[in-house]
Amino acid sequence: MAVLDTAAIALSGALIGAGAAILSGALTVAATMRIERTRRQETRRSDEARALREHIAGVFAGVFVINHAIAWISWFASRDPDAVDQSMVASFDAETNRAYPGLQSALTLVAAIDLRTYSELKPLVITLYRLWEKARRAMVCLNSGRDQALRTLRECSDQSLEIEFGFPIAMAQIMAMAASTTTDESRKGALSAGDPDTVLPQAPVSAPDPDNKPRPTAPPAE
């Protein structure tokens, strides 16, 4: 009996030791997986934050190109009105038409990552689009009502200056806000597949017609 008891004790000890080793290994694996999952989440958040900043910069790059075109032609309307001709209008159209697709693309990608940042950018882009439309409608009337068209273009100059000096501040504020976006809950973007509460953003502005003629449209939704 003593021999059996000793064997049983030895077996029990071995089983307990094996169980402890298995448990220890399982805990180690679980801890490693948790650390790896956290690392991947942090990497994803970092990648999203970097992409968000890049797309915000893309939006503002488009804004400044379009605003520069408006400022340029409105400056001539004020200082050298005879220089405002169809050739200048064609140059204006070419420059703004090149900029709009990149601006719209960047704005859409911002919405896909962070709808809060998109909501901050949307009214700024709408302001720019309305100024572009005002200037472009005036250009349509250069042949039929030149004096009034030039007056309207001169009005655009002051608004363009407001954008030129106001948007850098807005960009700094939006960049700072984007940097503070650190949780997944604050990023309910359009790429949240399967989320019934996700609302796909609608385009805040309409790009110019391919034939460079402004079309009458209802103002974009506020």
User: Considering all CA atoms of the chain, what is the largest pairwise distance in Å, rounded to the nearest integer?
Assistant: 119
CA neighbor of 72 nearest in space, from 93, 97, 102, 98? 93
Q: Choose the most confident range, by mean pLDDT, from 5-9, 160-164, 195-199.
A: 160-164
- For residues 182 and 116, the answer to whether their CB atoms sit within 8 Å is no
Q: Is the pLDDT of residue 140 over 90?
A: yes
- Report the chain's mean pLDDT, rounded to a whole number: 78
Instruction: For residue 160, give both structure tokens.
Output: 């363009």
- For residues 181 and 114, the answer to whether their CB atoms sit within 8 Å is yes
Q: For the segment 7-49, what is each residue's pLDDT rounded down to a tens digit?
A: 666 666 666 766 667 766 766 766 676 766 666 666 666 778 8
DSSP for 46-85? HHHHHHHHHHHHHHHHHHHHHHHHHHHHHHHHHH-GGG-S
CA distance 44 to 49: 9
Which residues touch 154 (CB under 8 Å, ≥6 apart)? 74, 77, 78
Percent of the chain clearing pLDDT 70 (strictly above):
63
Q: At what angle do helices 115-140 and 86-113 cross, to 10 degrees?
A: 170
pTM value is 0.65
CA distance 24 to 70: 69
Domain positions in the chain: 49-186
Percent of the chain clearing pLDDT 90 (strictly above):
50
CA neighbor of 93 nearest in space, from 70, 115, 116? 70
- For residues 58 and 101, the answer to whether their CB atoms sit within 8 Å is no
CATH architecture of 49-186: Up-down Bundle (1.20)
Look up residue 25 and give its DSSP letter: H
- For residues 180 and 122, the answer to whether their CB atoms sit within 8 Å is no
CA dihedral sign of residues 112, 64, 154, 149: negative
pLDDT at 10: 62
